[in-house]
Amino acid sequence: MERPQVENKIAKALSAYSKGSVLFVDDFLDYGKPESVKKALLRLKEKEILVRLAHGIYLYPKIDEELGVLFPSTEEIAKAIARRDKARIVPTGIQALNKLGLSTQVPMKVVYLTDGAARTVKIGKRTITFKKASPKNLLPKGEISSLAIQALKTIGQAKVDEKTTAKIQTILKNEKKENISNDAKLSPAWINKILMGAI
């Protein structure tokens, strides 16, 4: 008897979420046993009420008349997973460069440092990898300074030229000085110098 009831309860509960929300099995465990919830979500997917993004991850879709389903960005999905796991995440590699406007490349494979569980989530052709990091790598306070550290590590000390340094220091003008100062102390000496040059 539990099955249709669970599905109906979840379908009703969806009205509390805004369209475009990324949802998980865990969000609906108040309505039934994990197995029943999983089956109910799959049935709602079959009815096209939900879109399945990956194993256990669903989208309450926002539909555009011309474009169809508007899928969330990789970053939105990663942040939703981090919220669910109560974990911190820091973008690395091309993702960090892209967010700072230092690269126009949109990576299909993104890597986040996390204090949560290490895992890889495949969403269509995109891959999100959460890499377990030492707490020190997750201590930076500023979002921009944290991205700057990861971007510089990606470029590498030997390849950072004056133009890149100047660009990063200009971007850092939007970061609080105390954050830059705090985060510079957590960085390798050569990155510390670039960060402190922005103050």
**How far is 63 from 136, CA to CA, in rounded Å?**
41
Identify the CATH number of the domain in which residue 31 sits: 1.10.10
Q: What is the pLDDT of residue 141?
A: 93
On whether both 87 and 123 belong to a single domain, the answer is yes
Q: What is the pLDDT of residue 3?
A: 61
Domain boundary among 103, 138, 173: 138
Parts of the chain with a pLDDT under 50: 1
Q: What is the pLDDT of residue 180?
A: 97
What lies within 8 Å, CB to CB, of 11 at 6+ separation is 44, 49
Domain contains 2: no
Query: How many domains does one find in the chain?
Result: 3
Domain boundary among 98, 123, 138: 138
Domain that holds residue 41: 16-68
Q: What is the pLDDT of residue 2?
A: 57
Q: What is the pLDDT of residue 53?
A: 96
On whether both 145 and 189 belong to a single domain, the answer is yes
| Tens-digit pLDDT profile for residues 56-73 | 999 999 999 999 999 999
Domain boundary among 104, 138, 172: 138
